[in-house]
Structure formats: structure tokens, C-alpha cells
Amino acid sequence: MAVAAAIMEEINIPEGVEVIIDDNISIKGPNGQISRKFTYPNVKIKKENNSIVLKTSFPKKKDKSMIGTTKAHLNNMIKGVTDGFTYNMKIVFAHFPMTVKTDKNKVSIDNFLGERHPRFANIVGDAKVSVKGDEVTITGVNKEDVGQTMANLEQATKIKGRDPRVFQDGIYLLSKE
């Protein structure tokens, strides 16, 4: 039976991005900073020259998958601090005109389907939400925070107890950048 060799993945660090590896991995770029803790025991993370090196010795199937997952998270962190993430959403209503406003860490949705009480959606982390007419734009450096904020908005306008073919009101995702 052959023994599997070590697996090593390398991520290049772009110009203008600073990476600090200790207990947490902090990545600082022109758009901001992200810090995250990776705790999987068989994956070793080091900074060598101008790249991040992920390494595991005697890998099992789970170790190989964790190398890929960790690499994807680090790539998303680097993309976030250099380019950022932007999700565009559209406010759609046919029956009752909806009013969407942002408060500190919540989005308020008034008059959804003629309801008297407003619905709320949480803004997660450092994501920024801006409402202009019937367009909602969510931006941020952390992909998970931006995506969860978008999901919270969609879920807050979920229609229950009515025919979805007739009542298509809500806030829906148009594009991701």
C-alpha cells in the first residue's frame, strides 16, 4: 500500500495586500480589513515570500477537502479587501407600495402587502445597505456578511398563506459582483 505524500496549495498575495498570520489570519487591503480564525488541526497555514502556503501531511479525504475550503475562504478574503462584494436587489410590488429604509443595523420594510406593522431584516457584520428608488445595494468586504444580509432581506419579504403566482411582491436578488 502506497503512502500519500503531503499536499500543498499556494495563494499569491496581490500588490497592496498585507497578510498577518498568528492565531487569527488578518488580511488588510485598500477596501478594509478581515480577520478570521481557521481551526482545522491538520492544515498548516504559513506565509512564505509573497504567498500563503496551505500544507497537510499524510492527507485523508477530509484533510484534502479542508485544504480546498480554506483556500476558497482565503481567496474570498483577498478579493473582499481588494475589490469588495456587491449584491444588487430589486424591490417588486404590484398591490401595495413598499417603503424600505435602513436604520443602524436593520432594514425596515413598511406596508408590505398592506400590513400595518413593519417587517425587519438584520444587517450582518460590516455590510452596508443603500436604498435608491426600487434598487437595494449591499456592499462589503466579507462575502458571508453581504450574502447573509441579502438572504435576510429576501426572507423578511417571504409570502406565506397566499398564492405566489399572484402575489409576487418582495425584494429579490438581481446580480452579484
pLDDT tens readout for residues 25-76: 999 999 999 999 999 888 999 999 899 999 998 888 998 999 999 999 999 9
Alpha-carbon torsion angle 62, 64, 67, 73, nearest 10: -70
Backbone phi, psi, residue 155, to 5°: -70, -30
Is there a contact between 11 and 78 (Cβ–Cβ < 8 Å)?
A: yes
Domains annotated on the chain, with CATH: 7-82 (3.90.930.12), 85-176 (3.90.930.12)
**Averaged over 134-150, what is the pLDDT?**
96
